[in-house]
A and B are shown apart, each in its own frame.
Chain A
């Protein structure tokens, strides 16, 4: 028993009974017998059949085309690789068309028989059916059946999209136009302002239009389904191309580089780490995080150092801030601190950036042996100038806490607004 119902490929008329039997897990013969039996109760079976015919897709068309974006459970899946060409549905569809030419005659005969039965039944029940009303009904029924028969034969035409009928606005415009034209024609034809006459004509033409709509509805439905399937296919194709292009530019290149430098463990680590970072960025790009540029700058700087030294630098950020001269200096100071950690600490470095309304805090921590801050010689520009001096020149503070279990550099830059408030 499949979760979704499809019309069977092995069909007599449209495969409804076969599909239903498969879906419910009972025998086809039984379903057919019930369907035929029900048809004698005011054509209930017939209506039900027609309804299913309209709404239930063919087994091939849905499973082969429309469903490629979804797996068996209806979950989306990305297919990276193109399926073998010519795989979908062609044999099934051809098979169906062949069967259809046999079914066509039979259904006409069957339809005539059913109509005759209904007429007989009606007369027995004492309904006085006039030939004048019966013939148009028969004509409508035959017309509808003809239209519906044709349906399974049509291949993808893309009519809807060609006519730009795929937006609600376009549909509305079309509907409005049709209504106006009909109203205009009616007024001209009746030739008078007589409301009763116009009214009667409106009802009559609405009836005609309803009949036309009845015939066309399954067409529209079918076109719509095909259109959707085609669009899904196009989206999938674009996505696949984009992924393939990205994999080629990044992963394949890196793999080639790794093969070349397989002898150097540090090179391999560095390449793998850089590639991992880039791939992560691409996969988990977070749209909400791009408001300010400070975080992006800090991440870029840390990535650069990571590449340079082959040590991992873990960056955790909360909030973001605009990049100006002062925060530019903060980024430079952060760079110096991370560089120190990587060079002297020799372990993984953690960077934490917190940007709030009061200002920006940056913490850089390593687990190296540590050093005595007071013991830094006066001529060592790295720490004194790049960290402490730079921060104080830009209105911020820098602090270095070092012990045997590691070193932490704390940088703080108050925000501009809080600076002004302090001045007042």
Chain B
């Protein structure tokens, strides 16, 4: 991957300058940081100007209407269909994670992850895949329920395979290990994860709605 012909162009959005510079130093050489932004307005302006492949987006940002990362995604999504968002946060709170995923982010990682891991996540998101941390997988299982239940809408439940994949990710397996454990290819794992992400973004399953309402996400 390191000798990829085209570097991945990213914009880093975070209100802490120390964190931005630390992140820039941590990212691998094939990831090119085009610009940085510290507020919602700056972020929308920079993303629109640079049209990067990936935006590394802090969930909590000053400015705008106080919605942070969600607002940036909403502000850019219409004009930048090719740009993917990877959410970054110090927070593990379910409301932060799920709200930003439902707004359209392709993945969620906590700020404590290593430089190699975050570079890997950026590449994955740039390639069109979703990035699930164990914790996010846990939230998904919590929201959709761990048992297979009969629901009419395809969007409202996880298939047996998707449940298995989510469980393994929650257990700390990497995509490669998941593929090995289930005897499927990494590509198949990635498509399962993308399907789960889509369901998480689009589902109106009442349990998910209630779960979200309990946590004041709606």
Q: Which residues of A contact B (CB under 8 A)?
A: 73, 75-76, 280, 283-284, 286, 288, 314, 316-319, 350, 352, 354, 356-357, 363, 365, 405, 408
Main secondary structure of the interface of A (DSSP, over half): strand
Residue of B nearest to A408 (CB): B171
**13 further A-B pairs in the complex, CB-CB below 8 A; given A283-B91, A318-B138:** A75-B65, A288-B215, A316-B137, A316-B171, A317-B138, A318-B141, A319-B142, A350-B134, A352-B170, A352-B172, A354-B146, A357-B147, A365-B171
Q: Which residues of B contact A (CB under 8 A)?
A: 65-66, 91-94, 134-135, 137-138, 141-142, 146-147, 167, 170-173, 177, 214-215
Residues of B within 8 A of A316 (CB): 134-135, 137-138, 170-171
Residues of B within 8 A of A350 (CB): 134, 171-172
Shortest CB–CB separation between residue A290 and chain B, in angstroms?
A: 13
Q: List 5 A-B contacts (CB under 8 A).
A: A283-B93, A284-B91, A354-B170, A356-B147, A408-B171
Residues of B within 8 A of A75 (CB): 65-66
A354 touching B65, Cβ below 8 Å: no
Residues of B within 8 A of A318 (CB): 138, 141-142, 146, 170
State A26–B91 Cα separation when bound (angstroms): 47
B134, B167, B171, most chain A CB atoms within 10 A: B171
Residues of A within 8 A of B91 (CB): 283-284
State A35–B196 Cα separation when bound (angstroms): 62
Shortest CB–CB separation between residue A194 and chain B, in angstroms?
A: 60
A73, A317, A318, A408, most chain B CB atoms within 10 A: A318
Residues of B within 8 A of A280 (CB): 92
State A405–B176 Cα separation when bound (angstroms): 12
**Given contacts A314-B134, A314-B172, A318-B170, A73 and B66 within 8 Å (CB-CB):** yes
State A354–B173 Cα separation when bound (angstroms): 16
State A405–B172 Cα separation when bound (angstroms): 13
State A75–B63 Cα separation when bound (angstroms): 10
B93, B94, B167, B172, most chain A CB atoms within 10 A: B172
B146 touching A365, Cβ below 8 Å: no
Residue of A nearest to B136 (CB): A316
Residues of A within 8 A of B177 (CB): 405
B167 touching A354, Cβ below 8 Å: yes
State A286–B217 Cα separation when bound (angstroms): 13
B172 touching A365, Cβ below 8 Å: yes
Chain A to chain B: the 10 pairs with minimum beta-carbon distance, closest first: A350-B172, A316-B138, A75-B66, A284-B93, A352-B171, A363-B171, A365-B172, A318-B141, A352-B170, A316-B134
Residue of A nearest to B143 (CB): A318
B214 touching A354, Cβ below 8 Å: no
Residue of A nearest to B138 (CB): A316
State A76–B65 Cα separation when bound (angstroms): 10
State A288–B95 Cα separation when bound (angstroms): 12
B92 touching A284, Cβ below 8 Å: yes
A354 touching B66, Cβ below 8 Å: no
Residues of B within 8 A of A283 (CB): 91, 93
State A337–B69 Cα separation when bound (angstroms): 38
State A354–B94 Cα separation when bound (angstroms): 17
State A350–B92 Cα separation when bound (angstroms): 15
Shortest CB–CB separation between residue A176 and chain B, in angstroms?
A: 38
State A356–B91 Cα separation when bound (angstroms): 26
**Given contacts A75-B65, A284-B92, A314-B172, A352 and B147 within 8 Å (CB-CB):** no
Shortest CB–CB separation between residue A358 and chain B, in angstroms?
A: 8
Residues of A within 8 A of B171 (CB): 316, 350, 352, 363, 365, 408
Residues of B within 8 A of A317 (CB): 138
Residues of B within 8 A of A288 (CB): 214-215
B215 touching A354, Cβ below 8 Å: no
Residue of B nearest to A362 (CB): B171
State A405–B141 Cα separation when bound (angstroms): 26
Residues of B within 8 A of A73 (CB): 65-66
Residue of A nearest to B93 (CB): A284
State A317–B134 Cα separation when bound (angstroms): 10
Shortest CB–CB separation between residue B112 and chain A, in angstroms?
A: 8
Shortest CB–CB separation between residue B71 and chain A, in angstroms?
A: 11
**Given contacts A288-B215, A316-B138, A365 and B173 within 8 Å (CB-CB):** yes
Partner of B146, one of A286, A319, A405: A319
